[in-house]
Structures are given as structure tokens and as C-alpha cells.
Amino acid sequence: MEDSKEGMKMESLTNHRSSSIMFDPSSIGFMELLGLQELSSASFFDSILQAPWMEDPPPSSSTAPHDSSDVLNLPTTPNSSSISSASNEAATTNDDHQHLINNRPGRQDREEEEDEQKKTMKQWKPKKTNLKRQREPRFAFMTKSEVDHLEDGYRWRKYGQKAVKNSPFPRSYYRCTTATCNVKKRVERCFNDPSIVVTTYEGQHRHPSPVMTRAGYPIGVLPDSGFSTGITATSAAPMQMASVSLSNCFQHPSYNNNMNGCFPSWSFNHVGLRGAGISNTPQERSLFTPTSTGLLRDDGLLQDIVPRIIRKEKE
């Protein structure tokens, strides 16, 4: 407890030395972002990594609870207009559920109204046979960072922390503080490489970033980059030019469907950005060279993380 508090203090004070890898565990694409403070296209795209299973992805865990529906219903990107009807329905369902949760009474009243709520929840709860509880599309990225909670331009309220099985590091749960925004994120450390933070976003922001840079641009929206990164450092958040070593994760002897145990199963079974298809070959890397025509568009959270040129093929 004391340590974690101090850690949070340090987080806000030092903010941050990090570099990031965005990963699409389901589609097997990795990017490594280097030099985030002054992110250049060259450094960004030269640093794209290839996951070890890129050419031969491991089968998703058959035991993962949500993977099949999530993967099948997953839009090509979390923010693309091609979100399937199933996903939209899922969002609506979740909103309804969230509405129920947010408006539920205190514990005492809850006991009094328990029966009624059970009825309500039963009404909401999808039938197991045809409709699983579905979630917003998720995507995640890895960040080499000394701090857990990285500045991403949005304000988050921590609402929970849980110990993770087989990991010494707890998982923290955050919710966007904007009233109408249901975006959540989870932050945890890779237990094989504690220097790597795995951040998973669920949902997309439908509001402007509340945190502005010194230049007046929301964090993650660079005026001249052609794309936005979302993990671009603020003036108060200098990031270190550093490369991320994934070897600790990828070469662990316990390598399995869940990425050497470096990540929990949900990372691979729920995370979005299908079909990113990032390659490490020079020819294919050139596909990701940002162009000057990359107009800023409101693609929600995704635009903060993924260069549009990469999202193009998923639109």
C-alpha cells in the first residue's frame, strides 16, 4: 500500500520515461514507438517490430471465455465505421447495463430492492445460449515505463485494483472521468518484464481530450505529424528514447497461447485492431510511412494510438 501510493506520487511527478509498443494480440501486429516526445515518422516506422508468431500465430486459447464472440464481432478497428451490428448491439447492451449499475441504489436500498433488481438484471442478462455478455472493442499496447498509469491525454478515475493470477503485479481499472464517457482501461505490468506496462482500452472516447499540450493541441494530436499517437508526451511528460526489449516476454520457456504468459488471456482474445498486419520487412514497412495527406479525423480513441495509415486497410 505505502509503496503503491508512493509510486503514484512518483508517477505524477516524474511522468514518464517510457516507450511503447502497440500490439494487436489477436491479429498479431506489433509496433514499437520510439522517441515519443518528438516522434518522427522514421523512428516510428523503423521501429515496428514483428511478433514472433506473426507468420504463424498461435491458436487462441480455446478456454478463453469471451474470445469467440469478441473476435467474431470485433470490428476491424475499435473506431472504424465498420463496427459490426453485433458490436453496436453490444455497446447498447453495455450502456443499458452501465445505466443500471450507475443508478443502482446504496447497499441498504439494494438489499431492499434486491428482488426487483434481480428481475431487472435477468431482463438485461442475455441468454447464455445465443448472446454472451459482450464488451466494447478492446485494444492494448505495451509501454516500457517506470510508471503504471501513462498520460494519454484523458483523465481517468481508478475504480478498482485486483490481483492477477500468476502475476505478482496487480491490475488496475480506470474509467474516463468524463461523465458521458464509458471508456475504461486496464493497466498491469508484464510479469516477465516488469518494466513493461500493458494498457488495455475498452471503448472509445466521444469527446475531446481534456488535456491540452503547451502548443494548444490535445495530447496525441500532433499538428504536423499526419497522424496522432495519443501517447505523445506532453511537455510535462518527457519520454525516453529507448527501445523496448521484448525478449523477456517472447522467449520465456512458458511460451504458450498467451504469449509466454507475459499477458493474460484476455489480451489476446479480446483486444481489437484486427488485421493490422504490421510487418517488419522493409517493403512492408514502407506501407506505414505516414503521408502529408493524413488529415486529422475524429476516430475516437484509436486515432490517439494508431496512425491512420495503419488503420486505412481496416476502414
Partner DNA sequence: CGAATTTGACCTGCGC
Partner DNA sequence: GCGCAGGTCAAATTCG
Question: Where on the chain is the footprint of DNA (CB under 7 A)?
Answer: 1, 4-5, 8-9, 12, 63-66, 98, 101-102, 104-107, 110, 114, 121, 125-126, 128, 132-133, 155-165, 171-173, 175, 177, 184, 186, 264, 266
Other CB atoms within a 10 A radius of the CB of residue 8 amount to: 15
**3-class SS at 140?**
strand
Sign for the pseudo-dihedral over CA of 198, 68, 77, 288: positive
Nearer to DNA, 133 or 206 (CB): 133
Residue 175 backbone zone (phi > 0: left; psi -120 to 50: alpha; other: beta): beta
Nearer to DNA, 138 or 311 (CB): 138
Nearer to DNA, 69 or 79 (CB): 69
Nearer to DNA, 158 or 297 (CB): 158
Instruction: Give the Cα separation of 156 and 164 in Å (integer).
Output: 21
Q: How far is the CB of 231 from DNA (least distance, A)?
A: 18
Nearer to DNA, 24 or 32 (CB): 24
Give the cell for residue 189.
Answer: 505490468
Nearer to DNA, 8 or 236 (CB): 8
How distant is the alpha carbon of residue 133 from its chain centre?
A: 20
Secondary element (H or E) of residue 238: none
Q: How far is the CB of 198 from DNA (least distance, A)?
A: 11
Q: How far is the CB of 17 from DNA (least distance, A)?
A: 19
Nearer to DNA, 164 or 212 (CB): 164
Q: How far is the CB of 277 from DNA (least distance, A)?
A: 26
Q: How far is the CB of 208 from DNA (least distance, A)?
A: 17
**3-class SS at 213?**
coil
Own/partner pairs, 254-258, CB within 8 angstroms, 24+ separation: 256/58, 257/58, 257/59, 257/60, 257/61, 258/61
Q: How far is the CB of 257 from DNA (least distance, A)?
A: 13
Nearer to DNA, 65 or 277 (CB): 65
Give the cell for residue 239.
Answer: 519520454
Q: What is the CA radius of gyration of the chain?
A: 20
Mutual angle of helices 85-102 and 114-124, in 10-degree steps: 170
C-beta of residue 305 within 8 angstroms of C-beta of residue 22 = yes
Q: How far is the CB of 260 from DNA (least distance, A)?
A: 16
Give the cell for residue 18.
Answer: 517510457
Q: What are phi and psi of 267, to 5 degrees?
A: -60, -35
Give the cell for residue 218.
Answer: 490535445
Q: How far is the CB of 146 from DNA (least distance, A)?
A: 16
C-beta of residue 177 within 8 angstroms of C-beta of residue 155 = yes
Q: How far is the CB of 255 from DNA (least distance, A)?
A: 18
Q: How far is CA 298 from CA 116, 122, 204, 221, 257, in A?
A: 41, 36, 11, 10, 34
Nearer to DNA, 267 or 279 (CB): 267
